[in-house]
Structure 1
Amino acid sequence: MNKIKAIICIIAAVAVFTACFSNTYAADYEKMNIELKIGSGTGKINGNTSKVEKPYIENKTVMVPLSWVVVAIGAEINRKAGSKIEIIYGELNAELTISSKTYIANSESRKLTAAPVIKNGSTMVPLEFIKENFPVSVTEDTKKGDIKIILEDDGALTDLSFLTGGISSKKIGNSYYGWSLSIPSGSRMVSNNYKSNNIGIMNESRNLYLYVSVEYKKDMDLEALFDSVDMYESNIRESKLDLKADIPYFQYTALSSYNEASRVKVFEKGEFFYFIEITSDDEFITPEKLMTDKYYDNIVNSFDLSYKGNEKGIEDISKVKDGRAGFYNYISLSSTSKYLVWSMDIPVEWEDSSSFVDPMSTSFSLDNRHYMKVTAKTIDEGADLSQYADEIKKHYDKYFNPKIYSYIGSDSMTIAGLEAQNLKFSLKYGDNVYHVDELYFIKDGFVYEISIYLSEKDYETTIKDFIDTVDKMSFYTVNKQKYQKDMELFESKYSGIRVSQQDDIFKYVNKQYSWSANIPGYWQKYSYYDDSEISFVNEDTAAAVTISAVEKDSYYEADSIEEALGMDIIEMIYEVKPAISITNERGLQVKNYTYRIEDPEDNIYTTIIFKVLEKGDYTYCFKSQMYDLNATDSAVAEVNDIWKSFEMTD
């Protein structure tokens, strides 16, 4: 990966991380639905099913599993010496004692109608404990045995794979990444991602937010990262780089456009960059105060990189066990529709490299030459797995470029305890050859497509780790009827619209901006803010055409038509310059910008062409993109035919 892309990836990762947490605090609080049934060993969280100790009724008191309920809500539960249990949630600090009706809540003694008990290893408590101590509404139907708990304020919890809640120690640490930090009294952890390398802490009373992020250095060094800060942080007040410190670091202060003051300190140690940020939107706290005030300075300077775990007074928040981290995959179709479908223990070296475009797919990468993609799709009951795999092979044979794609073979196997089909093929990009294993299997109404891409030269030494990881997958049942309904809504909102109901060529006319083009009816149309820019995509070949109309000499905030069309972004990220030519076509002068991108590090091999021409009040751009993998003769000809049909009308 070149330096510019490495800088962008690291800065963007941290920027997205902090932005997500900043927005979380002011986010619309989503309701969480928790469902239990008397005598049933299964419970539901937002429709997702999991096993629980069976709730029961004793002496008219409903008893429910403590840990399952409060952890779902987002609380922290700690087993203390003897028979005491501590529960922390926001400002609540409660202590229960097994076999005692009396408990403590924020230093106040209270009484339950029944004492907590241990049953089959689970602590069971009266439902009233949940009612009285959490922001929930509870409905009970004792005749049917139904219990519904609705969390009105879920503590800004947006993903149930995050463990959030109060913090019982004055210091927290991460034994895997080797850091610790002193935190203000009354703080609570609002975010902790699946491998605990991104942590968010909030202290409401002091209006403070703390973030700790650990990122692999990849091809970067601290000085290069420091030099890049000014490019992406336009509101910096002051900055400092110290490469001679025992642990080299740089730090800076900034004031955001939302008047949030922040101080960021970045350390370089071993294979990681460590980011510690303190932020406040209090109007009386300036960036300078975060740097000079002893209170804030002590917090930042308490960040230590020698923690190894098992140290008294430090709460270890690491989720990594035996070098692996549990990844729970939620298919998020809307802000209120999240479905837990599968989970697996991922080697901590793997990065979650998923895009936000496709909620059904999740990707993990060891590096740019070793990665895996997991896709879960609904499938009709009784579908034939062999036929499903055969159809995929036919699709590849038809739409993949034979200069790159070579079929190797297929067989059947058992994976994750299920019958699976395995399709094998190779992809040749320049001097790099990849061996691809695609696994297909069906579980609980979903068909799983797992694609493992490995460099051919070390395929034999790396495939086992990927297969072993998939083999230990866990699966969860979802409400299929509700899921299907939500999926239909999602697709209607985000999917493109067919150009025509028929597959034949369709003359598409843009009356507002006076142009037309002949588009195959099976292509998908995507429009943005208005019809000044419309994209057409062939989902089989990934070929894309975008037609834009920009009013002459009005490039919005851009300095040139090239910048207005996004060419500068391509040049910056891929460090390429276009081949420029001028042609005369249909009586008009056409300026052609051809970008040839060959990025062996990220396996991006594609050609992007901008055709720019003027007529009337507008500058028009016909942009096309074709990836080498799909650049068959017929796919290229199809795009050329669209260009030939493009007309600007008066």
Structure 2
Amino acid sequence: MKTKLLSFFIAAVMLFAMAAPVAAADSSATKTVDIRVKAGSTQMKVDGKAVQIAAPYAASGTTMLPTAVFTKGLDAKLTVKNKSVTLSVPKHSVTVTIGSKSAAADGKKLSLPAAPAVKKEITYLPVKVAQSLGAKVTVDSSTKEIRITATVAAAAAPKGSSIDSDSGKSKIGDSYYEWSMNYPTGLAQDFQSEDGDQIVFRDVKKNYYLAVNVEEIPDPMSSEELRELLMMMYVDEDETIIDKQTVTANGVSYEKIATKGYGGFYYEFRAYQANKKVYVVIYGKKATSLADLRKSTGILDSFKSSFDRSDRSIKDLTKITSDLKTFKNADYGLTLTLPRQWKSNSVNQTPYYSTNDGAYLSVDVTSLVPGDTVEAWAKRKQDLFVNIYLESYRKTVEMSDVTWNGVPAKMLKLSYSMDGTEWWEEYEVFAVQGSYRYYTELAYPVETKNKYGTLMNTLLQSMKINFKTVEQNFGNIPDESDMVDWTKTVTKTDQEYGYSVTVPAAWRSGPNMGGGFSAYSLPGGSFAVMVFEDMPDPQTFIADMRDKNVKQAAENSKFKLIENTTVTFAGKTAVKLVAEDTRNSFKYPYTETVYLFEHKGNVYLIDGLYYHANGTETVKKQLEDALNSFKLN
């Protein structure tokens, strides 16, 4: 529940999305990057240096950014499979679908304020994607620029030795993905994805570049579709197209695009379709012209969409030897086996694994509090689940005794839904050994039960953690989400804007974005205070917001304005709006209460929201108490 259930509750409030904190990293291998972009501007600044991009634009209350912001600014790896686009950084991964607001961040459901779109062969994503990649997003009120700050990997020399050093090997290839080609002389393997469907080679001076990307696309694609794939997902928007054609040679047809990029680099992109896959092979070098580039593209002519297992001159670079993959984590002494479609991610620096269809597995280790037991721990989790889900959105919790990693354990089976339509199943395993507690969580959409329904039984047999390794590598690790006193409150004061609010100490506080904005996530909803400064006509602004809600309710039967009144709030005359939204689009069905009033030329907005699935008396009372606690100082 720690990983999945609470993730539902960290939602964007009515007008602004909460920025995610930048993940901590080893300063010797990382650097902090400062990115600034602005809607309508074709210039992005990265640490003060100008980079040309396609202009971002505003849509549906958010800013849409071209993929270059993520790949060039955040050093994100881009993977494309049909309409699915995945951006990955060392600790996070986000998968979106062109035309859909539904996405996945680190394997968990994510709702986007606007659907990713393709315009003039350029893919645009909402700025919220940057937050899900671990970046902090703020707005510079003076320049109207969006500022994105994050920790990214520092530049490093290519890893490993030159691939020319393999005695007797004159070719490389991948037996699983069925491709082979001549050795790229003088280059070293610089990167290979976890599944091996992306591999990159470079020279030490970074004057040459070779990449092979494999897209599993079973349906035949036309020449136009293959070119569109290259243009949309591989060619950067700031590159100049200098050649584009269909080529047939030695009985093989492929699409070819050549470009001129920055820093004197020229590239040739080729797309081959075979074996129910599309192979995208890219070669680049610092050159003086297209003719100069073509002097070195012979390596591309050696590419074949086949792998001859009897040819001992081929070095097999495959990472997949069966339908299963073994994952290891040295810090935890962890070893486990999962189907090959699973990928590893680091969430809060704990072992985390996920699939593109929403399933995930997480492992966590925390310190044992003296006097606590595995039975009491599991019971607290069960009680929390019951307290934050209405009966109509959950099924009876099943608790059982199991053996995990050779020790007695408790297992909970949970079934729940956030909208009454899409259901999830979740298994939670609780174990205690020595001075540490071990928690394993597996969750998946019920519609995928045929794939993952028996996986927990397999994990109970095969998953291993070395307890001695944990004892050696970790000190005290408190579980701050457990043994929480929900009656304890804390008063937060904003001296600049003269207000205070009292909220449960256990609520998660969002990052301080300044400008009088503060936000909190609670089990079942969100709470926020926003101050709109120096409004030329505060009452007109408030009236406009009121009218927009009235109009929205008139136009959509699934958006109901339950209350639209004028009340006294915090000693001020305020507009109170209570809305019920069951559209299940940007957010799960929810009820939201908003107070709007003017004070010293500023407009104050106090917002409380709970999801219908979590509308228990406990959740609603916490939210109501927080709203009523707001005071002007």
| TM tier relative to shorter chain | 0.5 to 0.7
In structure 1, what is the Cα distance between the partners aligned to 2:535 and 2:278?
Answer: 45
Match of residue 500, structure 2, among 516, 519, 530: 516
**CA gap 1:19/1:360 in 2 versus in 1, 3 angstroms:** same
The aligned counterpart of 2:368 is 380
The aligned counterpart of 2:526 is 544
**CA gap 1:231/1:293 in 2 versus in 1, 3 angstroms:** closer
Amino acid at match of 1:509: T
Matched, 1:473 2:455: no
The aligned counterpart of 1:58 is none
> 1:185-231: per-residue Cα shift (whole Å, max 9, x none)?
22222333433233332211452344444455699985797499399
SS in 2 for 1:605: coil
Asked if structure 1 preserves the Cα contact closer than 8 Å seen for 2:413 and 2:427, the reply is: yes
SS in 1 for 2:385: helix
In structure 1, what is the Cα distance between the partners aligned to 2:557 and 2:171?
Answer: 51
The aligned counterpart of 2:426 is 436
**CA gap 1:434/1:407 in 2 versus in 1, 3 angstroms:** same
> 1:71-106: per-residue Cα shift (whole Å, max 9, x none)?
xxxxxxxxxxxxxxxxxxxxxxxxxxxxxxxxxxxx
The aligned counterpart of 1:78 is none
Matched, 1:166 2:162: yes
- Single out whichever of 296-305 and 234-243 deviates more from structure 2: 234-243
The aligned counterpart of 1:639 is 623
Asked if structure 2 preserves the Cα contact closer than 8 Å seen for 1:195 and 1:325, the reply is: no
**CA gap 1:445/1:300 in 2 versus in 1, 3 angstroms:** farther
**CA gap 1:513/1:411 in 2 versus in 1, 3 angstroms:** same
The aligned counterpart of 2:392 is 403
**How far is 1:583 from its partner?**
5.8
**CA gap 1:627/1:212 in 2 versus in 1, 3 angstroms:** farther
In structure 2, what is the Cα distance between the partners aligned to 1:328 and 1:270?
Answer: 31
Matched, 1:598 2:584: yes
The aligned counterpart of 1:19 is 75
Asked if structure 1 preserves the Cα contact closer than 8 Å seen for 2:287 and 2:293, the reply is: no
SS in 2 for 1:527: coil
Question: Where do 1:132-531 residues align within 5 Å?
Answer: 164-167=160-163, 168=166, 169-205=169-205, 207-215=207-215, 226=229, 229=232, 233-238=236-241, 253=259, 255=261, 265=270, 272=277, 274-278=279-283, 285=287, 289=290, 293-300=293-300, 302-307=302-307, 309-329=309-329, 339-352=331-344, 354=345, 357-365=347-355, 367-368=357-358, 371-380=359-368, 384-428=373-417, 429-442=419-432, 446-454=436-444, 456=446, 459=449, 462-476=452-466, 477-478=468-469, 480=471, 483-484=474-475, 503-528=487-512, 530=514
**How far is 1:347 from its partner?**
1.3
> 1:570-601: per-residue Cα shift (whole Å, max 9, x none)?
xxxxxx9995977645434578897656369x
TM-score norm. by structure 2 comes to 0.57
Amino acid at match of 1:516: S
Asked if structure 1 preserves the Cα contact closer than 8 Å seen for 2:333 and 2:470, the reply is: no
Unaligned 5+ runs, structure 2: 1-58, 79-88, 90-153, 543-555
**CA gap 1:340/1:533 in 2 versus in 1, 3 angstroms:** same
**CA gap 1:648/1:172 in 2 versus in 1, 3 angstroms:** farther
**CA gap 1:259/1:225 in 2 versus in 1, 3 angstroms:** same
**CA gap 1:193/1:394 in 2 versus in 1, 3 angstroms:** same
**CA gap 1:200/1:526 in 2 versus in 1, 3 angstroms:** same
In structure 2, what is the Cα distance between the partners aligned to 1:183 and 1:521?
Answer: 60
**CA gap 1:607/1:366 in 2 versus in 1, 3 angstroms:** same
TM-score norm. by structure 1 comes to 0.56
SS in 2 for 1:598: coil
**CA gap 1:521/1:544 in 2 versus in 1, 3 angstroms:** same
**How far is 1:647 from its partner?**
5.0
SS in 1 for 2:454: helix
**How far is 1:551 from its partner?**
4.0
In structure 1, what is the Cα distance between the partners aligned to 2:188 and 2:582?
Answer: 50
**How far is 1:165 from its partner?**
4.2
The aligned counterpart of 2:106 is none
In structure 2, what is the Cα distance between the partners aligned to 1:590 and 1:260?
Answer: 59
Asked if structure 1 preserves the Cα contact closer than 8 Å seen for 2:170 and 2:313, the reply is: yes
CA RMSD of aligned residues (A): 5.2
Asked if structure 2 preserves the Cα contact closer than 8 Å seen for 1:583 and 1:589, the reply is: yes
Asked if structure 2 preserves the Cα contact closer than 8 Å seen for 1:378 and 1:447, the reply is: yes
**CA gap 1:521/1:374 in 2 versus in 1, 3 angstroms:** closer
Greater C-alpha radius of gyration: 1
In structure 2, what is the Cα distance between the partners aligned to 1:625 and 1:225?
Answer: 42
In structure 1, what is the Cα distance between the partners aligned to 2:194 and 2:425?
Answer: 29
In structure 2, what is the Cα distance between the partners aligned to 1:254 and 1:203?
Answer: 19
Higher relative contact order (CA 8 A, sep 6+): 2
The aligned counterpart of 2:27 is none
Provide the aligned length of Structure 1 versus Structure 2: 458
The aligned counterpart of 1:630 is 614
In structure 2, what is the Cα distance between the partners aligned to 1:212 and 1:449?
Answer: 39
**CA gap 1:457/1:197 in 2 versus in 1, 3 angstroms:** closer
**CA gap 1:615/1:459 in 2 versus in 1, 3 angstroms:** same
Asked if structure 2 preserves the Cα contact closer than 8 Å seen for 1:435 and 1:453, the reply is: yes
SS in 2 for 1:522: coil
**CA gap 1:481/1:325 in 2 versus in 1, 3 angstroms:** closer
Unaligned 5+ runs, structure 1: 28-152, 158-162, 331-338, 555-559, 562-575
Asked if structure 2 preserves the Cα contact closer than 8 Å seen for 1:194 and 1:325, the reply is: no
**CA gap 1:226/1:608 in 2 versus in 1, 3 angstroms:** farther
**CA gap 1:466/1:423 in 2 versus in 1, 3 angstroms:** closer
**How far is 1:362 from its partner?**
0.6
